[in-house]
Amino acid sequence: MMRPGDRIPKEFLDEAVVGVNLVPGTLRDQLGPGVTLLVFLRHFGCIFCRETLADLRDAASSEDGLPPVLFFFQGSPIEGKATLRRDWPEARAIADPEARFYEAFGVTRGGLVEMFRPAVWMAKRAAEAKGHRNGPRSGDIWRMPGMFLARGEQICWSHEYGHAADHPDYAEIGRMAAELEPAG
């Protein structure tokens, strides 16, 4: 997994990307010079993927000060548009059906422990209480999520996921991002 201080490899920065609500061009064009929160989603049918989309949408519109969010997903641009139209129409997302970016960032596949430990079952009940449900499977259902703060091509923070339902404190991400932005 990429760690703070790592740089996104040039071949991935300069790779043309397609997806939802993107500017035409490469990954570098999507990042720009400021801080960006890169979020690698599991698969769109995953209850925790749906919860992440909703929670980040809410955090982005609150006082948490999240930087711009750029999602990566394991489907086609058409799948991305359909899902995001429902969950967050303004979201920007890169389609990565072959999981090339997932692999480059070190977002790995989980095993039985990461997918079925007791914490996952407890988190599933909490997500259901918020109104989320599993949907049709798409993509690699064993793929773990990933989250990184990047400033330009440099990784400034990463979250080490312990299981499929794990997630960081989004308010804390907003605080970290604010510290990374130059005063202006």
First to last CA, the chain: 32
CATH value at residue 89:
3.40.30.10
Residue 5 counted as domain residue: no
Residue 184 counted as domain residue: no
Structure tokens at 53: 């989309």
Residue 1 counted as domain residue: no
Find out whether 21 and 91 touch, Cβ atoms under 8 Å: yes
Residue 70 counted as domain residue: yes
Distance CA 52, CA 102 (A): 17
Amino acid type, 168: P
Distance CA 171, CA 182 (A): 19
Residue 182 counted as domain residue: no
Taking the whole predicted model, whether its pTM rises above 0.85 is answered as yes
How does pLDDT run along the chain (184 residues), one tens digit per residue? Answer: 999 999 999 999 999 999 999 999 999 999 988 999 999 999 999 999 999 999 999 999 887 679 999 999 999 999 999 999 989 999 999 999 999 999 999 999 999 989 999 999 998 999 999 999 998 888 899 999 999 999 999 999 999 999 999 999 999 999 999 998 875 5
The domain in which residue 88 lies consists of 10-15+30-177
Residue 24 counted as domain residue: no
Residue 143 counted as domain residue: yes
Q: Into how many domains does the chain fold? A: 1
Residue 40 counted as domain residue: yes
Nearest C-alpha neighbor of 87 from the set 42, 142, 132: 132
